[in-house]
């Protein structure tokens, strides 16, 4: 789908600049409403919160508010365009949170590239929010920033550019492996790219049981023979005597592309093992187009980051619903077990029968198989299945602040929310 510049600019401006606005959700028509909303009535919840800070979740928007925070150093495919220029993207991220999970967002663009100073700013404003979504921060600083904020804050922190792609691709990978009948502990997996998303993918795949990972950066295979590797790449250094993507692909079972377009050749695809799994996720031009794969291999499973091909790996399948579950249990963090639970929830949903209304949206007979290994973004059941998995994990691990949390009632509440969102965004 091609978008023209004039069309995009009009969408963002039109009758009113931007994509967001703030609306009151309590009555505000009378003098009494004014007295309740502001002085003197507002003093009572203030004093309750002073006595017990957790009550802030009861009396303020904090219980449903995520801060989408960036410094604009790695914006989509635009690179380091600065904090102010990143604001349209952050507003777009806020819109996704609201549309798919009913979560409110304040987008915060911080003009600061120093990691420690950036963390200090986020730490100072964190009482405003129930969770922090870090966005579009370049590597390797993003690893340090996320780690430090997770250690210092008592609310969930997640850098979606790292974990979003990792979570969704991991769910798709589990299903693709099931279809091909491969053993996850025995596969050879090649990751082309070594940025934030690639590192997060590699780490997460290992947690799922993948043992043999070959990673490449712009200089070639990340090898133990190289002396130019930063710490975050050293953990993926191989002792195999290979240097190029061509050599890495020979006998590979899985290819994960997080690099640039048209870098994977048909001959490389031919050199892979039987029933190869190829996730070519560079956007808008993938490392290889699906039709090129199928022209030489009819046994492949292919995914891309594009919406005009089957099996789109899209972060929106994960982050709104993970934050939903974390917010609703008032979790102190988003940890590995919550993420792994989300992955399994996403993977399991793809195996369930797809309702007719979702098939109509995509004009396709969606059935679990090679062309449908991951749910579609507009599958409203994601809002039910994934938050429940995340909430359940947070309760079991003791990071939830809500006690006596009823998961069955929560599932029913999510069904109601799903219906409300479908109705309001028609």
Of 134, 138, 61, the residue nearest 315 (C-alpha) = 134
Distance CA 345, CA 174 (A): 11
For residue 426, the model assigns a pLDDT of 66
Distance CA 277, CA 266 (A): 14
Which residues have CB under 8 Å from 114's CB, separation 6+?
A: none
Integer Rg of the chain from CA: 22
Q: Which of 11, 38, 294, 419 is the catalytic position?
A: 38
Give pLDDT tens digits for 14-73. Answer: 889 999 888 899 999 999 999 999 999 999 999 999 999 999 999 999 999 999 999 999
Task: Indicate if the pLDDT at residue 391 is higher than 90.
Answer: yes
Is 144 among the catalytic positions?
Answer: no
Task: Indicate if the pLDDT at residue 288 is higher than 90.
Answer: yes
What does the angle CA 242 – CA 247 – CA 251 come to, to the nearest 5 degrees?
A: 115
Give pLDDT tens digits for 67-102. Answer: 999 999 999 879 999 999 999 999 999 999 999 999
Task: Indicate if the pLDDT at residue 12 is higher than 80.
Answer: yes
What does the angle CA 211 – CA 213 – CA 217 come to, to the nearest 5 degrees?
A: 160
For residue 3, the model assigns a pLDDT of 86
404: annotated binding-site residue? Answer: no
For residue 76, the model assigns a pLDDT of 83
315: annotated binding-site residue? Answer: no
Q: Which of 23, 59, 93, 415 is the catalytic position?
A: 93
Average pLDDT of the segment spanning 170-199: 97
379: annotated binding-site residue? Answer: no
Give pLDDT tens digits for 290-302. Answer: 999 999 999 999 9
- Write down the residue that tokens 């490389």 correspond to: 268
For residue 51, the model assigns a pLDDT of 97
259 in Cβ contact with 217 (< 8 Å): no
Q: How far is CA 396 from the centre of its chain?
A: 23
Distance CA 371, CA 7 (A): 32
- Taking all residues of the chain, what is their mean pLDDT, rounded to a whole number? 96
Is 38 among the catalytic positions?
Answer: yes
Which residues have CB under 8 Å from 9's CB, separation 6+?
A: none
Average pLDDT of the segment spanning 142-171: 96
CB-count exposure of residue 103 (10 Å: 0-12, 13-18, 19+): buried
Task: Indicate if the pLDDT at residue 2 is higher than 80.
Answer: no
For residue 112, the model assigns a pLDDT of 98
141: annotated binding-site residue? Answer: no
Give pLDDT tens digits for 308-334. Answer: 999 999 999 999 999 999 999 999 999
Average pLDDT of the segment spanning 132-147: 96
71: annotated binding-site residue? Answer: no
Strands (E), 122-253: 131-134, 157-159, 188-192, 212-217, 220-221
Phi first, then psi, for residue 34 (nearest 5°) are -60, -40
Give pLDDT tens digits for 224-260. Answer: 999 999 999 999 999 999 999 999 999 999 999 999 9
Q: Which domains does the chain have, with CATH numbers?
A: 164-304 (3.40.50.720), 318-424 (3.40.50.720)
Report the predicted TM-score, pTM, of the whole model to 2 decimal places.
0.95
How is residue 353 annotated by DSSP? P
Task: Indicate if the pLDDT at residue 1 is higher than 80.
Answer: no
Predicted confidence band of residue 144 (pLDDT cuts 50, 70, 90): very high
Percent of the chain with pLDDT over 70: 100
Q: Is the dihedral of CA 157, 143, 302, 348 positive or negative?
A: negative
């Amino acid at each position: 789908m091609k978008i023209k510049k004039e069309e995009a600019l009009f969408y963002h401006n039109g009758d009113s600049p931007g994509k967001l606005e703030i609306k009151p959700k309590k009555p505000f028509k009378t003098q009494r409403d004014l007295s309740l909303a502001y002085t003197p009535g507002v003093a009572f919840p203030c004093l309750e919160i002073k006595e017990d800070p957790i009550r802030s979740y009861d009396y303020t928007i904090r219980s449903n508010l995520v801060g989408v925070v960036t410094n604009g150093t790695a914006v989509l495919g635009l690179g380091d365009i600065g904090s102010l220029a990143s604001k349209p993207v952050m507003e777009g991220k806020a819109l996704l949170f609201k549309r798919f999970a009913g979560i409110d967002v304040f987008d915060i663009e911080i003009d600061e590239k120093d990691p420690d100073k950036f963390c200090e700013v986020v730490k100072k404003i964190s009482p405003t929010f129930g969770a922090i979504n870090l966005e579009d921060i370049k590597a390797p600083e993003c690893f340090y920033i996320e780690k430090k904020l997770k250690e210092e804050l008592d609310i969930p922190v997640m850098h979606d550019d790292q974990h979003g792609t990792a979570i969704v691709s991991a769910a798709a990978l589990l299903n693709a492996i099931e279809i091909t009948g491969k053993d996850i502990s025995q596969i050879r997996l090649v990751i082309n790219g070594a940025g934030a998303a690639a590192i997060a993918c590699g780490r997460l795949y290992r947690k799922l049981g993948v043992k043999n990972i070959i990673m490449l950066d712009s200089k070639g295979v990340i090898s133990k023979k190289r002396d130019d590797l930063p710490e975050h790449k050293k953990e993926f250094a191989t002792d195999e005597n290979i240097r190029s993507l061509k050599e890495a692909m020979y006998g590979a079972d899985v290819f994960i592309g997080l690099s640039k377009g048209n870098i994977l050749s048909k001959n490389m695809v031919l050199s892979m093992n039987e029933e190869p799994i190829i996730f070519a996720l560079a956007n808008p031009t993938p490392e290889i187009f699906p039709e090129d794969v199928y022209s030489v291999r009819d046994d492949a499973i292919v995914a891309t980051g594009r919406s005009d091909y089957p099996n789109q790996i899209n972060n929106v399948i994960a982050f709104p619903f993970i934050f939903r579950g974390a917010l609703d249990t008032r979790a102190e963090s988003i940890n590995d077990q919550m993420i792994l639970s989300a992955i399994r929830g996403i993977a399991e949903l793809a195996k369930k029968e797809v309702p007719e209304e979702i098939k109509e949206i995509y004009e396709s007979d969606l059935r679990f198989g090679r062309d449908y290994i991951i749910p579609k973004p507009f599958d409203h059941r994601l809002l039910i299945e994934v938050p429940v998995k995340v909430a359940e994990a947070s309760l079991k691990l003791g990071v939830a602040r809500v006690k006596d949390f009823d998961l069955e009632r929560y599932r029913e509440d999510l069904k109601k929310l799903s219906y409300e969102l479908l109705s309001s965004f028609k």
